[in-house]
Amino acid sequence: MKRDFISMFDLTKDEMHEIFDLTKRLKESQKKGVEHKILKDKTLAMVFEKPSLRTRVTFETGMTQLGGHAIYLAPADTKLGTRESVPDAAKNLSRWVDLIMARVFAHKTVEQLAKNAAIPVINGLCDLEHPCQVMCDLFTVIEKKGSLKNITIAYIGDGNNVCNSFIAASSVLRFKLAIATPQGYEPSKNYVAKNKTTQLTNDPEKAINDADIIYTDVWVSMGQEKEAEQRKKIFMPFQLNKELLRTARKKYLIMHCLPAHRGEEITDEVIDGPHSIVFDQAENRLHIQKAIMVWLSQKSS
């Protein structure tokens, strides 16, 4: 039976841990220079409606390290929904390649791809979720803290797709999650309803008080450029800076999914400081996505 990875809700607790364990093994192999051509002669189609540094480089590099090949399809190459319908594109790609990764604007697009493709589809980002990023983040927390047991993650900023994926992940893995957003910028009500243990507040200090991990993201995502100046004013009290972090636990760790708008949601001294694991986190996008591709291929065979 074909498996897709569209949402954090697509995986059980055991399946998430299977992928984390596989990520650890693949990362160790890569570091030791041990070949792991598990997807030899397989092809990944990378469908992009939004540009990205980390998503493209990590998926393409990951597929190469696994012995396969990745094809980059830029927005002008596909024009999903205009030049060709999403279902037709999915059916065509299913005849040629073995996996699809889609970084798109609308969640509906990636859902349609998964529904109509005969091969696994991976959500590389959409407006509702960013599941590969959050799988990467949780693997990084496990690396640094040993496990997710008794861990509290504080998410500070915009209740966006990354925030939604954290809520979904928390409902499955049962780690503690505190979210602080400005009023009117809270995460999806549907996601919050599925995880009633999530702590929601409009006070960033309250969210970080008991946090082991303090996480932020950009205040202005692609497609929100017209709101940029207004958002910067509203979100400024949520900036991760030395003053805000003065009440945090001594051994807190800072995370950011990148790209960072330095001087907006996070200051230089925080992202480059001793508590930051931001670039360790970014490296792990490569390893977790390799594991996701391998896992989906094996489950769908």
Residues with a catalytic annotation lie at 103, 130, 133, 217, 257, 285
Two structure tokens written together for 74: 């830029």
222 is in an annotated binding site: yes
Q: Which of 134, 171, 176 is nearest to 5 (CA)?
A: 134
Is residue 165 annotated as involved in ligand binding? no
Find out whether 258 is annotated in a ligand binding site.
yes
- The three-state secondary structure class of 155 is strand
What are the phi and psi torsion angles at 216 (to 5°)? -140, 170
Any known ligand binding at 103? yes
Bridge partners, residue 176, by sequence: 152
User: Does 133 appear as a known binding residue?
Assistant: yes
- Whether the upstream peptide bond of residue 259 has omega within 30° of 0, thus cis, is yes
Q: How many whole angstroms separate alpha carbon 115 and alpha carbon 70?
A: 22
- Is 161 annotated as contributing to ligand binding? yes
* 131 is annotated as contributing to ligand binding: yes
Residue 3: burial class (beta carbons within 10 Å; 0-12, 13-18, 19+)? middle
Burial (CB count within 10 angstroms: exposed 0-12, middle 13-18, buried 19+), residue 243: exposed
Q: Is position 256 annotated in a ligand binding site?
A: no
Binding residues for carbamoyl phosphate: 103, 130-133, 257-258, 285
Binding residues for L-ornithine: 161, 217, 221-222
Binding residues: 103, 130-133, 161, 217, 221-222, 257-258, 285
